[in-house]
Chain A
Amino acid sequence: ETGVTQSPTHLIKTRGQQVTLRCSSQSGHNTVSWYQQALGQGPQFIFQYYREEENGRGNFPPRFSGLQFPNYSSELNVNALELDDSALYLCASSSGGLGDEQYFGPGTRLTVT
């Protein structure tokens, strides 16, 4: 058991709507990264938060935004949903050291119709 939890497990939204996904990091971890994984593909880096500040971002439009809270839990918000946003969204936490392994949560499966 990794200790990283995500909610909800599954979600169905329609095009144009907004969604918020949540992640609770493993105890003692201050770094959270979010990834989008399409079927049959590797995870694509969205962004990373370290001590409540975004400190890295992948090639995702501004309608993908996030927050990290003082307890190091995190949210991923996606506005103006598009069909291509349908994917598994993974959250991973780590203690922030180089080479530190990331512990992944079980993911949220988002379907946009």
Chain B
Amino acid sequence: GQNIDQPTEMTATEGAIVQINCTYQTSGFNGLFWYQQHAGEAPTFLSYNVLDGLEEKGRFSSFLSRSKGYSYLLLKELQMKDSASYLCAVRDDRDDKIIFGKGTRLHILP
């Protein structure tokens, strides 16, 4: 089976750091994506991990542990515009299908 779990909602303060976790159980694995989706808009690509470790891109970093079926997205120096849903998605290596989690709604407080 295929299952991706992430928290439904999180709240953090402007300027702070927040970590959004994602665990997955999939039949096949060929990479994990993080997307950002503002309300009423299309998802936009943030990061891709296929090997274990940390990928850093500006204020955003993404970590992957394949043996644990675990990833996190780290957002630093939070800004109000970071209020959005963050989607974790896994690519299945059997058919290249990308499976999305339900998303984590992040609320940023001033």
A28-57 CB contact bits vs B (8 Å, 1 = yes)?
000001010000111111001000000111
Question: How far in angstroms is the closest Cβ of chain A from B95?
Answer: 5
**Is there a chain B Cβ closer than 8 Å to A104's Cβ?**
yes
Please tell me if A103 contacts chain B, counting CB pairs below 8 Å. yes
CB contact under 8 A between A106 and B41, given known A42-B102, A42-B103, A98-B30: yes
Among A40, A43, A48, A101, find the residue whose CB has the most chain B CB atoms closer than 10 A. A43
Q: Return the 6 tightest CB-CB contacts between A and B, nearest first.
A: A42-B100, A104-B42, A101-B45, A56-B95, A42-B102, A99-B48
Count the B residues whose beta carbon is within 8 Å of the partner chain — how many?
A: 23
Chain A residues with CB under 8 A of B45 = 101-103
Interface centre among B30, B44, B96, B101 (most CB of A within 10 A): B96
Which A residues are closer than 8 A to B by beta carbons?
2, 33, 35, 40-45, 48, 55-58, 90, 98-99, 101-107
Chain A contacts of B87 at CB under 8 A? 42-43
